[in-house]
Chain A
């Protein structure tokens, strides 16, 4: 009997989802849109940044240098400036993000003294972009001078060659695809399940379900199973879109990736169930989900702000944020292509969290009304 009544319950839940256009939009269409928005709008890559040049040398070589920078693909040449005073003007007008100042007798000094001056001035009202731009220009200038005058300073100085391992091209998909996945899974599983369970309370149908032979776990599991399916579909769609649209390499083991994702889906579900046991109405469930789940997911998981840069207190706080562990595991597997032993800690933490949330939910689940 339990078998058929349980199946019956799950079928009903699917009907709820597929008959409600809004729910359907949230669980199936929104993830795709969100990924596209993060991918195309919020991008940390720099392409075609405007720059200007204040050239005190104005010789053949410096012209070649400007050409080299302009043809790098990162920069878009906006013209020459006539005086130092104009720099502020172009920044304020937004005409340029960066100004390259080349000292006088640039090529002559390089040739004779093997040492010449240039300065990079950036508009640091957006500090991340500014520092990335500055380092790009320095890189180009260095390789340019090396090319023309040989390795100039190898005797005098230590030469630093930085490489951005695992993401040499600074492709921002590496950051937002895992991040979006975390966000979507939180939204679809934790928030939608907590809302769908509290909806039954609000409608009064929970009363009837309670006064039926269905066991509480059957009610809860029956309600969340459709969301497991939907969340898993989302994982597949996001990975596929990351691979095809955003050229994210899939370096790790696919099975491991899906396994860890499934674990996080369970974790998010158990959190959603816990929220539903704590809230009496859909509005409360929505509110808790928003403030207790979405904000920490965005702010404290390392999705947007690096955890290492946070104040100590927030770093500790981030330790209890489920998304932080998933994000970390996701990056390790997807981008570094590491195996299971490298995400063991994350997996253990997520399993522990799931058990705690389920335990609390069982304790808090009310077999009666209040």
Chain B
């Protein structure tokens, strides 16, 4: 039995279709990523799975329980962390933890082993009101609170949004630790680079699932030959590069420019020559496409 099973799910807000015909299946113990741009329908899907929204059509089952008809049994089995910071700002770190442990009928002590990774980082601030924590600390506290009752499934809505790079990394490390404890994790994010952290990823856009695969699987689905182009101020030339015949698509990727071509004859040298002909002196390397390249290809395709 899959931990989460979503079948033909659809949901509209008035005229706007937030989800149409979404299907996905999350295996027990898996770290499953839901990746897509803002407004793709991630929060809607997560809220339906977390029993907080009613779908217009289709159904979602978590741990075999229907999120609509069996929501009462299901609540309490899942850990849910909303996208916006939803703890009590006027209560301290310690009080928030105790409160959430309390409403789930457990204690911090009882499940200390589960949250100790997160709690360790929070310990120095345990008497500080939650509202006065930094963004990263807030998310770590929220994660602890969502975990405190040892849920079987942990559902996280964009936990890394608005968090600095170091804290993001720390949060993902924590999620891996939690996964190793046997908890199924369903996590959404708008950051494509975070897809690599997941066992499997569903790519969502405009309420439709564009594909489900492992990060490597997605990378292999990239249909073109890919080169990384390094030159100073390369972004100034991106329009000129896109106009080249050989160019299928080109986009900035960190400090370099990724150049995709359909023609299998091209190699790093020949591309360097072509760029030189339009006045760009660049270092060109042939590279393997990553999952992000596939996403950019997919999302711009649609």
Using CB atoms and an 8 Å cutoff, list the residues of chain A in contact with chain B.
1-2, 4-5, 8-9, 12, 15-16, 19-20, 203-205, 207-214, 367-369
Q: Enumerate the 8 nearest inter-chain pairs by beta-carbon distance, A residue then B residue, closest first.
A: A8-B102, A204-B86, A1-B105, A213-B76, A211-B80, A204-B84, A369-B52, A5-B103
Query: Which chain A residues lie closer than 8 Å to B75 at the CB level?
Result: 210-213
Contact B80 A207 (CB under 8 A): yes
Closest Cβ–Cβ distance, residue B94 to chain A (whole Å): 12
A229 to chain B, nearest CB (A): 19
User: Among B47, B71, B102, which residue has its beta carbon within 8 angstroms of that of A369?
Assistant: B47
A211 to B104, CA, bound (A): 10
Q: How near does chain A come to B102, taking the closest CB pair, in angstroms?
A: 3
Q: How many residues of B contact A (CB 8 A)?
A: 30
Question: A-B pairs with CB below 8 Å: how many?
Answer: 78
Q: Give 9 A-B pairs besides A8-B99, A209-B103, A213-B105 with Cβ atoms closer than 8 angstroms.
A: A1-B105, A2-B105, A203-B88, A204-B82, A208-B145, A212-B75, A213-B75, A213-B103, A369-B52
Say which residue of B52, B54, B88, B145 sits within 8 Å of A207 (CB atoms). Answer: B52
* Residues of the A chain whose Cβ atoms lie less than 8 Å from the Cβ of B87: 205
A205 pairs with B51, CB closer than 8 A: no
Taking CB atoms, residues of chain A closer than 8 Å to B78 are: 211
Cβ contact within 8 Å between B52 and A368: yes
> Can you report 29 A-B residue pairs in the complex whose CB atoms are below 8 A from each other?
A2-B105, A5-B103, A5-B105, A8-B98, A8-B102, A9-B103, A12-B88, A15-B91, A16-B88, A16-B90, A16-B91, A19-B90, A203-B86, A204-B84, A205-B86, A207-B52, A208-B80, A208-B86, A208-B146, A210-B51, A210-B75, A211-B50, A211-B75, A212-B75, A212-B76, A213-B75, A368-B53, A369-B47, A369-B53
Q: Are B91 and A12 in contact (CB under 8 A)?
A: yes
Interface SS, A side: helix
Residues of B within 8 A of A208 (CB): 80, 82, 86, 100, 145-146
Residues of A with C-beta under 8 A to B51:
210-211, 368
Cα A1 to Cα B105 in complex, Å, equals 5
Q: Which residues of A contact B102 (CB under 8 A)?
A: 4-5, 8-9
Shortest distance between the CB of B146 and any CB in chain A (Å): 8
Min C-beta distance of A170 to chain B, whole Å: 48
A8 touches B103 (CB 8 A): yes
Name the interface residues of B119-149: CB closer than 8 Å to any CB of A.
145-146
Tell me which residues across on chain A come within 8 A of B89, comparing CB atoms.
203
B95 interfacial contact with A, CB 8 Å: yes
